[in-house]
């Protein structure tokens, strides 16, 4: 019989939940350092709790719940339950879900909306959420491109054209050396782009210190694979890459261009430059995800990305009484 208890932040338990994660998401699993980094930089005012499920001394599942403090909806809470495939269908998810709800139902602010998510190719997870009256509200298409097939020469005329228009391209380390205000500019660029990013909720701007911890100091960041477009000292677009969980693979971080600079091929140039860097660095493929109606998905497909699966966002509205 299994038991549920709070997670203890020891190396052994971090390794145990990372192993469960790897068994469920072999193509996109968080590593021990990812869990530790997220726990270390979490803002003090954010409610967060993690549980593990044990059977015969082995951690077979884990879960977390948190308040989405960067949402404009104060009562929005998010949870996720990860059960090792060998232990599915035994009521583990149901028991953990009940524990999560008992923990957050009387919190302040009062929950008004619960959110979660899963992959399209995990039908049992879809059924679990739909059975509890969650509705799918957004779909991100997950795609992958094979880097040995990528040829930067096709995009060199576009890159040269943009450079002739006064736009330069610099990596994160280059900006850190040449621009003393790089962090503030990058933070502001990110905020402008996030407001146009398809999300299930309206975002709030995060403090610059949190931006630095969450993105710049992320253990998965690939600084040389983070390219920023600059015009007259203004940061107008960027595209970044992150370490992946599979050998030879990496992931796209965030790609975006300010509204005034769109439809000029700038996003294409940024993506091409990061892909060429990744190829030259010896990586074999890039994996990314885009909301299904986002023009970035069309761009990625033109660059050779092929659909693999989809990530689904689910929500359940709660009574405010």
Question: Poorest-confidence range of 69-83, 154-168, 205-219, 271-285?
Answer: 69-83
- Whether the pLDDT of residue 321 is over 70: the answer is no
The answer to whether 182 touches 174, Cβ cutoff 8 Å, is no
279 neighbors 248 (Cβ within 8 angstroms)? no
Mean pLDDT of 225-248: 96
Where are the CATH 3.40.630.30 domain residues in the chain? 3-111, 143-309
* Sign of the dihedral defined by the CA atoms of residues 117, 118, 119, 120, in that order: negative
pLDDT in tens, 73-104: 789 999 999 999 999 999 999 999 999 999 99
> CB neighbours of 79 closer than 8 A, spacing ≥ 6?
63, 64, 65, 66, 97, 100, 114, 115, 116
> Looking up tokens 């497909």, which residue turns up?
301
* Mean local confidence (pLDDT), 298-313: 96
φ, ψ dihedrals at 285, nearest 5°: -155, 160
Residues 239-289 have pLDDT tens digits of 999 999 889 999 999 999 999 999 999 999 999 999 999 999 999 999 999
In the structure encoding, which two tokens stand for residue 204, read together? 């709030």
Give the rounded percent of residues in the chain with a pLDDT score beyond 70: 99
Share above pLDDT 90 across residues of the chain, in percent, rounded to a whole number: 91
- CA-to-CA separations, 320 to 67, 112, 184, 211, in angstroms, rounded: 16, 6, 39, 32
Sheet holding 48-55, edge to edge: 3-6, 48-55, 58-67, 76-83, 113-119, 306-317, 135-146, 285-291, 249-257, 234-243, 227-231, 167-171
Write out the CATH class of domain 143-309: alpha beta
Tens-place pLDDT, residues 32-42: 999 999 999 99
3-111 carries CATH number 3.40.630.30: yes
When pLDDT is averaged across residues 162-170 and rounded to a whole number, the result is 98
pLDDT the model gives residue 139: 97
56-62-66 Cα angle (round to 5): 150
**Cα–Cα distance, 148 to 279 (Å, whole number):** 7
Q: Residue 320 — pLDDT band, cuts 50, 70, 90?
A: low
């Amino acid at each position: 019989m299994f038991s549920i208890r709070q997670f203890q932040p020891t190396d052994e338990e971090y390794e145990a939940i990372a192993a469960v994660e790897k068994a469920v998401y072999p193509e996109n699993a968080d590593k021990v350092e990812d869990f530790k980094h997220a726990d270390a930089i979490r803002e003090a005012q954010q409610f967060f709790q993690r549980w593990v499920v044990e059977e015969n001394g082995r951690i077979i599942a884990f879960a977390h719940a948190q308040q989405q403090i960067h949402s404009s909806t104060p009562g929005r809470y998010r949870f996720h339950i990860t059960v090792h495939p060998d232990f599915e269908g035994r009521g583990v998810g149901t028991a953990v879900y009940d524990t999560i709800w008992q923990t957050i139902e009387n919190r302040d602010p009062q929950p008004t909306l619960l959110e979660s998510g899963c992959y399209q190719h995990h039908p049992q997870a879809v059924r679990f959420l739909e059975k509890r009256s969650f509705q799918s509200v957004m779909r991100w298409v997950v795609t992958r491109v094979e880097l040995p097939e990528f040829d930067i020469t096709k995009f060199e005329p576009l890159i040269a054209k943009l450079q002739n228009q006064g736009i330069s391209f610099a990596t994160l380390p280059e900006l850190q050396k040449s621009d003393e205000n790089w962090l503030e500019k990058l933070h502001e660029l990110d905020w402008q782009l996030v407001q146009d990013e398809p999300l299930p909720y309206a975002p709030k701007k995060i403090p610059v210190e949190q931006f630095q911890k969450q993105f710049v100091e992320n253990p998965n960041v690939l600084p040389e694979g983070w390219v920023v477009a600059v015009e007259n000292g203004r940061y107008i677009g960027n595209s970044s890459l992150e370490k992946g969980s599979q050998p030879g693979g990496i992931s796209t971080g965030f790609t975006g261009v300010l509204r005034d600079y769109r439809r000029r091929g700038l996003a294409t140039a940024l993506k091409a430059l990061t892909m060429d860097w990744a190829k030259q660095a010896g990586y074999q493929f890039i994996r990314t995800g885009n909301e299904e109606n986002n023009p970035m998905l069309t761009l990625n497909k033109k660059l050779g990305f092929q659909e693999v699966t989809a990530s689904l966002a689910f929500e359940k509205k709660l009574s405010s009484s």
